[in-house]
Amino acid sequence: PAIALAGCAQDPTKAAFCLGTDVFNSAYLGTKALIKAMGGKGRIVHLAGLLVDPNTKLRMDAVEKAVKETNGAVTLIQHLTDTDQQEAADQKINALLGAQKDQIDGMVATAYIPSVVAAKSLRSLGDKRIKLVGIDDDKIVLDGIRDGFVAGTMAQNPYGQGYVAAYALDLMASGTCVVNPNAPFLKTPQ
């Protein structure tokens, strides 16, 4: 048996099931928290992961949905993608801030590396005006929250996801467990 972990495959697939964060809802809630931290208005940038990651499109759609719900009070300047590698994130995020810092009121980062890079960049600039909501619990992001450079972060449990997936896969491989075809699985728009 095979399963998908952390990023679901597009249907049809031979994977018995997918186990991962509801990345659409996570990005949606993170963007809503960013909008609230900005006072309900302003201009934001979405710091996104790799375009080849199936989760990135879901996160982009979620950010757009949250922005649309403001009826024009919030503008999405851009999705800054392919920032899920250290060098690319450093270059892209710092270039963005260098060129447009005064036009940006908030950033939502939906991948780990851009969350850390953005938190470090805002600290280096001494900028607490630009609100940032990141993802995961890196010490740099948590220190940024404590010191006022980061408005918040979204948490995941990758260890738990991996552990539960390996356990379920072992049960399936041994024949102890089968996937119920009528189980109420969340269907993603992939």
Summarised one tens digit per residue, pLDDT across range 71-109 is: 999 999 999 999 999 999 999 999 999 999 999 999 999
- % pLDDT > 70, the chain: 96
3-state secondary structure of 190: coil
Q: Are 186 and 23 in contact (CB under 8 A)?
A: no
Please give the mean pLDDT across all residues of the chain.
91
Average of per-residue pLDDT across 25-46: 97
Q: Could you identify the residue written with the tokens 């609100």? A: 131
User: What is the pLDDT, as a whole number, of residue 188?
Assistant: 57
Name which residue leads in pLDDT, 116 or 14: 116
- In angstroms, the CA 96 to CA 168 distance is 43
- In angstroms, the CA 97 to CA 159 distance is 33
- In angstroms, the CA 173 to CA 170 distance is 5
The greatest distance separating any two alpha carbons of the chain, rounded to the nearest whole angstrom, comes to 59
User: What is the pLDDT, as a whole number, of residue 161?
Assistant: 87
Q: Is the pLDDT score of 9 beyond 90?
A: no
Q: Is the pLDDT score of 185 beyond 80?
A: no
Nearest to 20 by CA among 156, 151, 125: 156
**Span of 19-28, 77-86, 95-104, 128-137 with lowest mean pLDDT:** 19-28
- In angstroms, the CA 187 to CA 190 distance is 8
User: What is the pLDDT, as a whole number, of residue 74?
Assistant: 98
- In angstroms, the CA 127 to CA 111 distance is 21
Q: Record the tokens describing residue 178, joined without a space.
A: 């089968």
Q: Is the pLDDT score of 6 beyond 70?
A: yes
- In angstroms, the CA 129 to CA 151 distance is 10
Q: What is the 3-state secondary structure (H, E, C) of 165-178?
A: HHHHHHHHHCCCCC
How remote is the C-alpha of 134 from its chain's centroid?
Answer: 7
Most confident by average pLDDT, 53-57, 118-122, 168-172: 118-122
Instruction: Name the percent of the chain in helix, strand, coil, to the closest 5.
Output: 45, 15, 40
- In angstroms, the CA 105 to CA 131 distance is 6
Q: Is the pLDDT score of 1 beyond 80?
A: yes
Q: Is the pLDDT score of 189 beyond 60?
A: no
Average of per-residue pLDDT across 28-37: 97
